[in-house]
Structure 1
Amino acid sequence: MPKIQAATVAEHRAMQRKAILDAARGILAEGGSEPPSLAAVAKRTGLARSSIYQYFGSKDDLLEAVIIEMFPRWAAYVEARVDEASAPADRALAYVDANLHLVASGEHAIARGLAAFARREFLAESSKVLHDRLRTPLDEALVALGCDDPAEMGELIQAVIQRASLMLESGALAEEKARALARELLEPYLRGSS
């Protein structure tokens, strides 16, 4: 019987599962042209390929587990950063900063990999839930600012985030510069509205 590396079998299995998910995320973050195979994940974790099948029956099951674990964590991070601010303008700017930080930390590269390789129907449903959840703090801040059309203004702010994200991912900007430019563009409107 293999030796467990935790106090209990359940803790050991949780550690192994986390290592597998971390390995899959790492492969996705590298931006290759192929999805993470179970063999590549096994190699990265130091587990036998057959051991991976104890946790995930297929590559699709593994990618869906990455989505299930990653999307709520991303949303919780953004919500926590927004909740640290009190004024509506500060909340909207915290939303921008949090999203750009996640892009700079590599989370967006993982999401791009998932978009390329995960089952479309599962990804579409999960992405809609994530985007709806992510937009809520921004929409609430824009409503509190008295914005005439918070949904459309939110779309414009998302466009700024998206463009700054592309610049971050291409290496054209460092995180601090991307955040500073986004703030320079958005702050006059957000502060003028409050």
Structure 2
Amino acid sequence: MPKIQASTVAEHRATQRAALLEAARALLSQHPDQIPSLADVAEHAGLARSSVYSYFKSRADMFDALVTDTFPRWSAYVDKQMDSATTSGQKILTYVEANLQLVARGDHALARALAAIGGSETLASSSRLLHDSLEVPLRTALAEHGAAQPEYMAELIQSIVYTLSRMIENGLSLRAATGLARELLAPYVAQKAG
């Protein structure tokens, strides 16, 4: 029996499961066009292939768990960045920039890779929850800033994020993408709220 490396079996299992998810995340981020096998993930995590089945029933089960783990991280990162902004205009710009930072560091490629793996209900549900949770603080900032229809303005801001995300994935630097976002949005966010 392998030696546990935590104070309890439950902690050991949680650590091992997290290591497997992190290994899957790393492999997908490095090669989003290649879906790693359970054996690849186990090897990357430094675990025996057979031990993966103690945590996940199948590759699809593991990727569902990765979706459930990954999307809330994205939302939490954006929320944390927006919380550091002091004005509604800064919050709007920060929303865009935080999303672009995640794209530039590879998180969007991971999300696309997860989407390509399959159309599981977990992916669809988590994706809807991610987009909904991301739009709440954006809509709030837009309402505070005086947008007459924050839900529609949020869709416009999202279209900017999507377009710049695609540009980053095609080679545009984060700095250039952020500069374009600021150039486009600066007149709007410079307006006084209300």
Length-normalised TM-score, structure 2? 0.93
Could you tell me how far 1:34 is from its partner in structure 2? 4.1
How far has the Cα of 1:193 moved from its partner? 5.1
In 2: Cα distance, 1:115 partner to 1:7 partner? 36
Q: Is the 8 A contact 2:67 2:122 kept in 1?
A: no
User: How many residues are treated as equivalent by the alignment?
Assistant: 193
The SS at the match of 1:103 is: helix
Counterpart of 1:27? 27
Deviation at 1:10, TM superposition (A): 2.6
In structure 1, list runs of 5 or more residues that go unmatched. none
Q: SS where residue 134 of structure 1 aligns?
A: helix
The answer (yes or no) to whether the contact 1:20–1:42 under 8 Å persists in 2 is yes
- In structure 2, the partner of 1:182 is 181
1:40-79 equivalences in 2 (<5 Å): 40-79=40-79
What code does the residue aligned with 2:47 have?
L
The Cα of 1:41 is off from its aligned counterpart by: 0.8
Among all aligned residue pairs of Structure 1 and Structure 2, give the percentage whose two residues are the same amino acid. 51
Letter in 2 for 1:181: L
- The residue type equivalent to 2:87 in the other structure is A
The code of the aligned residue for 1:177 comes to A
The answer to whether the Cα contact below 8 Å between 1:63 and 1:118 also exists between their aligned partners in 2 is: no
Please tell me whether the aligned partners of residues 89 and 189 of structure 2 are also in contact (alpha carbons under 8 angstroms).
yes
> Is there any run of 5+ residues in structure 2 with no aligned partner, and where?
none
CA contact (8 A) 1:147 1:193 kept: no
Q: 1:110 maps to what in 2?
A: 110
Instruction: Report the 3-state secondary structure (helix = DSSP H, G, I; strand = E; otherwise coil) of the residue aligned with 2:115.
Output: helix
1:169 counterpart residue number: 169
Dislocated runs of 4+, deviation >6 Å? none
Normalised TM-score (structure 1): 0.93
Whether 1:144 and 2:147 are equivalent positions in the alignment is: no
Contact 1:103 1:168 in 2 (8 A): yes
| Residues 1:127 and 2:130 are matched in the alignment | no
1-structure distance, mates of 2:97, 2:114: 23
Q: Provide the rounded CA distance (Å) in 2 between the counterparts of 1:36 and 1:132.
A: 29
Equivalent-residue separation in structure 2 for 1:141 and 1:114 (angstroms): 30
For 1:108 and 1:32, how far apart are their aligned partners in 2? Answer: 10
Any idea what the Cα deviations from partners look like across 1:68-110, whole Å, max 9, x if unmatched? Answer: 1111111111111111112110111111111111111111111
Q: CA deviation at 1:32?
A: 4.3
8 Å Cα contact 1:64/1:118 also seen in 2: no
Output the CA distance in 1 between the equivalents of 2:190 and 2:138.
15
